[in-house]
Amino acid sequence: MRQKKSLVIYTDSYSQIAILTDEEAGVLFKGLIRYALTGENLTSESRLVSLIFDIIKARIDQDNERDAMIADKRRSAAKQRWGSRKKEIPKPLTEPPKPEPSRFKRPTVEQIAEYIAQKGYDIDAQTIWDHYEAVGWKYGKGHQPIKDWKAAVRTWNNNQKKYDNERNHRISDTADDRDQKIIEQGRRIAESLLQDL
């Protein structure tokens, strides 16, 4: 018998135990604990104590059998679930491990100028360096850290082209508007002069 650390006595046994004297109940209780620990049967002079012991002992045995059956089912399920995994031997890696990404290193103004010249951009390296130095080498509204300063320079160049095109378009629009206003004004002056003649 497997040694348990607990003993369940059901409350429906109370009516049987209640007819015992306190001394007999103590003998019964000690006998039940001894049986749960060692499997040793109670030997008592009182036939009533022995009878109640046998009734409760049968219940203890049923509980133990039920617990053993549940434990076996769980053990079997665990072996089924995990047993196949233990047999799998992990394959050694054939690919070398990937190097960890290097940390961002701030470029110098000279490095930025060299990259701009290499790409043939028409932007100022000092302006770019000053801007990103001021914002802690971060970009965007979320203030994400820059991972590749060359990509930031390329983006700066693309944005600069867009800005220049928009500005030139606005300037040409305002010049055209101004010219149109001057022409219109000249026409009105000429008409008023012709009416005076």
111's CB contacts (< 8 A; 6+ apart) are none
Q: What long-range pairs does 13-17 form, CB within 8 A, spacing at least 24? A: 13/52, 13/55, 13/56, 13/59, 16/52, 16/55, 17/52
**Farthest CA pair distance, the chain:** 152
Closest CA to 128 of 103, 105, 160, 163: 160
pLDDT at 6 over 50: yes
Average pLDDT of span 53-73: 88
Report the distance separating Cα 147 and Cα 98, nearest Å: 18
Q: What is the pLDDT of residues 70-80, one digit of tens each?
A: 988 988 888 87
pLDDT band at 110 (very low <50, low <70, confident <90, very high): very high
Name the residue ranges covered by the structural domains of the chain.
Answer: 11-87, 109-196
Q: What is the pLDDT of residues 175-193, one digit of tens each?
A: 566 667 777 777 777 777 7
Report the distance separating Cα 54 and Cα 58, nearest Å: 6
Residue with tokens 């026409």: 187
Average pLDDT of span 166-181: 64
* 186: its two tokens: 């000249």
Q: What is the end-to-end Cα distance of the chain in Å, rounded?
A: 134
For residue 138, give the H/E element and its range: strand 138-139
Alpha helices in 21-148 (DSSP H): 22-38, 47-87, 109-119, 125-134
User: For the ranges 25-29, 36-40, 117-121, 130-134, which has the lowest average pLDDT?
Assistant: 36-40
> What CA–CA distances, in Å, run from 117 to 7, 23, 33, 154?
87, 105, 92, 12
pTM of the model: 0.39
